[in-house]
């Protein structure tokens, strides 16, 4: 399931866990609209994994 949820995210932004993507992310490193979308996708994937979807 984790691989399905992380498949939409860029490989270079992911560590072993999706939390790494949030922890290692530098605010302002992407255009604002991409940043909001990217961080939202990561948080949604984390939430879905925690809920067991």
* 13 vs 41 pLDDT, higher one: 41
User: Would you state the pLDDT for residue 18?
Assistant: 81
User: Would you state the pLDDT for residue 24?
Assistant: 82
| SS3 of the chain | CHHHHHCCCCHHHCCCCHHHHHHHCCCCCCCHHHHHHHHHHHHHHHHHHHHCC
Ranges of each domain in the chain: 2-51
- Angle (CA) 15-48-11 rounded to 5° is 25
User: Would you state the pLDDT for residue 26?
Assistant: 87
Query: How confident is the model over 1-28, as pLDDT tens digits?
Result: 455 655 665 555 555 678 888 888 888 9
The confidence band for 52, taking pLDDT boundaries of 50, 70 and 90, is confident
């Amino acid at each position: 399931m984790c691989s399905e949820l992380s498949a939409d995210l860029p490989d270079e932004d992911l560590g072993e866990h999706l939390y790494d993507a949030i922890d290692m992310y530098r605010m302002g490193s992407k255009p604002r609209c991409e940043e909001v979308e990217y961080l939202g996708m990561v948080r949604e994937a984390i939430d879905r994994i925690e809920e067991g979807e």
